[in-house]
Amino acid sequence: MVNKSFQPGQLVSSCAGRDRGRYFVVIEVVNDSMVKVVDGDLRRVEKPKLKNTKHLIPHNKLVKSIAEKLKSGQRITNEQVRLALKETLEEQNLNKEV
């Protein structure tokens, strides 16, 4: 079994569920098998999606601005998440499913 490690601010994509193919940012690691993810659009900061890690594909990319804010305990907004996610996806040449 492949060890998938997740950390706050990490870029992930969903491989199962109705949100399959969408990209998210991890905002909290609940335990070894569950994380909370947001995209600032359908999954907002106020109500993050609790997602099983086996249904996520971790990408070796941190969304730096969000990761730094989470680490320092600052509040993040949906707009900040959307913009940072968009910039990261463009930087990685990934297509975001809308």
DSSP secondary structure letter of residue 54? G
What pLDDT sits at residue 91? Answer: 85
Domains of the chain: 10-92 (2.30.30)
What pLDDT sits at residue 93? Answer: 77
What pLDDT sits at residue 98? Answer: 43
pLDDT along the chain (98 residues), means of 10: 75 92 95 94 95 94 92 94 92 66
Q: What is the pTM of this model?
A: 0.86
What pLDDT sits at residue 95? Answer: 63
CA distance 90 to 84: 10
Do 98 and 85 contact (CB within 8 A), yes or no? no
What pLDDT sits at residue 96? Answer: 57
What pLDDT sits at residue 17? Answer: 85
What pLDDT sits at residue 45? Answer: 95
